[in-house]
Amino acid sequence: MPELPEVETIVRDLRKEIVGRIFVDIWTDTESLIKKEDFESFKKKIIGRKIIDIGRRGKNIIIDLGSDDILLIHQKITGHLLLGNWELKDNKWIAPEGPLSTDPMNRFLHVVFYLDDKRQLALSDARKFAKIMFLKKDELEEEFDKLGPEPLEDDFTFEKFRKMFLKKKGKIKQVLMDQSFIVGIGNIYASEILFRSKIHPEEKIENLKDEDFKNIYNAIRDILNESIKLRGDSFSDFRTIYGEKGGFHKIIKVYQRKGMGCVNCGEKIERINLGGRGSFFCPKCQKKR
């Protein structure tokens, strides 16, 4: 699932590419991806609207249409937005030569927004779990009311981070992945953050010291920023709006490296199941307390 660095990469690219553009038409073969209303009603609200700005909250992409109107897109597990020029032939989208046509992850187009510059903004989603909604700005608060703080905001200080744990219990990796506690950290990033912090994924919060929380805090901000610079992680389905892979998977230290040598000590990386997810760690560098 695209997490904070992947969604932020998409938002920054879209902000450069399509702010000021106007939606002139919409196509879909999966109307169920449009939530809260039928497709024809949604279509009438979107066509003719100008894109004023594009932002992000957690994994949600927020397209500001002005007049307090919002186009909200959550890509879910396998969805990613693409920008390009396709032709619809025999109910099949044909892309020009390049990543949009050669990478199989970019072939699952189910919603296509036509723009006034002859390009299209398309949602590719192999499993069709994404959601697209037209909302009023005052509805965003309800939509986001269960989301935790943004870890890369300036006001997300270590002091604020440390206080969040004062009455929190549980295993550290599961807590970091809880989007109601803090947004943007998925399985890959949680594994990498804890490896850098030298903390076992099953470590209980009550066993951690102030120094541990400081290391986790720094690792969160450093790793998420590193991934943004590398344009996200493409270990699985994620692609940029140009259909290209991000680069973070090239520097992964533990995720999906079971049986391989630790980059720090050479010990073999191990894998355990934690909360239904595979968790990767070095048994020497990340010993349980």
Q: Retrieve residue 194's tokens.
A: 């804890």
Task: Quickly tell me which residue has 């073969």 as its tokens.
Answer: 29
Asked about 277 being catalytic, the answer comes back as: yes
Q: Exactly one of 2, 5, 151, 201 is catalytic; which is it?
A: 2
Task: Specify the pTM.
Answer: 0.95
Judged by DSSP in three states, 46 sits in helix
Contact 75, 81 (CB under 8 A): yes
Neighbours of 68 (CB within 10 A): 12
Contacts of 175 (CB under 8 A, 6+ apart): 165, 168, 181, 205
Asked about 143 being catalytic, the answer comes back as: no
Burial of 69 (0-12, 13-18, 19+ CB in 10 A): middle
CA angle centred on 145, ends 141 and 147, rounded to 5°: 120
- H or E element at residue 174: helix 172-176
pLDDT along the chain (289 residues), means of 10: 93 98 98 97 98 97 97 95 95 93 96 98 96 95 93 97 95 97 95 98 97 98 98 92 96 96 98 93 95
Parallel, antiparallel or unpaired: strands 109-115 and 92-94: unpaired
Asked about 59 being catalytic, the answer comes back as: yes
**What is the C-alpha separation between 32 and 97, in angstroms, rounded?**
30
State how far the alpha carbon of 161 is from the alpha carbons of 7, 125, 213, in Å: 22, 34, 8
Q: What is the pLDDT of residue 31?
A: 97
Asked about 244 being catalytic, the answer comes back as: no
Q: What is the pLDDT of residue 256?
A: 95
Q: What is the pLDDT of residue 38?
A: 97
Which domains, and CATH codes, for the chain? 4-143 (3.20.190.10), 158-281 (1.10.8.50)
Nearest to 80 by CA among 9, 15, 180: 9
Q: Exactly one of 49, 56, 59, 196 is catalytic; which is it?
A: 59
Q: What is the pLDDT of residue 141?
A: 87
Contacts of 166 (CB under 8 A, 6+ apart): none
Q: What is the pLDDT of residue 158?
A: 98
**What is the C-alpha separation between 223 and 237, in angstroms, rounded?**
20
Q: What is the pLDDT of residue 79?
A: 95
**What is the C-alpha separation between 70 and 189, in angstroms, rounded?**
29
Contacts of 163 (CB under 8 A, 6+ apart): none
Tell me how far the alpha carbon of residue 243 is from its chain's centroid. 15
Q: Exactly one of 21, 45, 221, 277 is catalytic; which is it?
A: 277
